[in-house]
Amino acid sequence: MSFLMTLTVGLTALTLSGDHHGPPALSDAEIAHIAVTANQLDVEAARQALDRSADDRVRDFARTMIRDHEAVIAQAAALAGRLGVEPADNEVSRSLVDDARSAREGLARLSGREFDRAYMANEVAYHQAVITAVRDTLVPATRNAELRQLLEAVLPALEGHLTHARQLADALGGEPS
């Protein structure tokens, strides 16, 4: 079970840090890197779902994750280029990547309905953690107004993904294995 939550550990730690000690000392370049990394990791998770799931609903959800997160990455990259900001690797991004690798390895041991349920449970937890981190930590810590607007603008899409993930997780949970 532990792999299900590992993907959210880095983001949760980021949020808790913000709660107890004020916003972590992140530069805009580091925030941009965290945002792009978080989107890329959900794209990779979706590609794994397309490789392993035969459920049309799960596959449609995964395609939407790829389509939407790749669009956000493209706009974040365009904005960074326009601002002359080079996204900077940092401890939070590295933690997210490590956690995602663990989650992928855990999911790779599953198949069929067990995989579908675990993937969707992970998507619910991941989107919850990302929404909290973006809203409560990354947006307040961002100095550049355009980058802050981009982070704020992505929240409705993340909330839509969370709603969709919950609906699908609930539906799969109520079906026989």
Partner 1 sequence: MTRLETGAAVLAATGIPLLVACSGGSRPEAPRRHVVEIRAMAFEPKTIEIRPGDTVVWVNRDLVPHTATATDAAWTSPELGPGDEWATAAIAEGAQDYLCAYHSDMRGSVEVVPGGGS
Taking the C-alpha atoms of residue 170 and residue 156, their distance in angstroms, rounded to an integer, is 21
150 lies in the binding site for partner 1 (CB under 8 A): yes
- The phi, psi pair for 129, rounded to 5°, reads -65, -40
Its sign, for the CA torsion 47, 50, 56, 58, is: negative
What's the closest the beta carbon of residue 65 comes to partner 1, in angstroms? Answer: 10
What's the closest the beta carbon of residue 143 comes to partner 1, in angstroms? Answer: 21
What's the closest the beta carbon of residue 72 comes to partner 1, in angstroms? Answer: 6
What angle, rounded to 10 degrees, do the helices at 28-52 and 91-108 form? 10
What's the closest the beta carbon of residue 25 comes to partner 1, in angstroms? Answer: 27
Binding residues for partner 1, how many (CB under 8 A)? 15
Give the residue with the Cβ less far from partner 1, 136 or 152. 152
Helix or strand holding residue 10 (H, E)? helix 2-21
Q: Report the b/e string of 124-152 with b at 16+ CB within 10 A.
A: bbbbbbbbbbbbebbbebbebeebbebbe
Give the list of residues 6+ apart from residue 28 with CB closer than 8 angstroms, or none: 85, 142, 143, 144, 147
157 lies in the binding site for partner 1 (CB under 8 A): yes
Residue list 24-63, contact with partner 1 (CB under 8 A) = none
Binds partner 1 (CB under 8 A): choice among 58, 72, 141, 147: 72
Give the residue with the Cβ less far from partner 1, 108 or 153. 153
Binds partner 1 (CB under 8 A): choice among 154, 162, 165, 168: 154
Give the residue with the Cβ less far from partner 1, 52 or 164. 164
Please check whether residue 27 is in contact with residue 144, taking contact to mean a CB–CB distance below 8 angstroms: no
What's the closest the beta carbon of residue 89 comes to partner 1, in angstroms? Answer: 24
List residues near partner 1 by CB under 8 A.
64, 67-68, 71-72, 75, 150, 153-154, 156-157, 159-160, 163-164
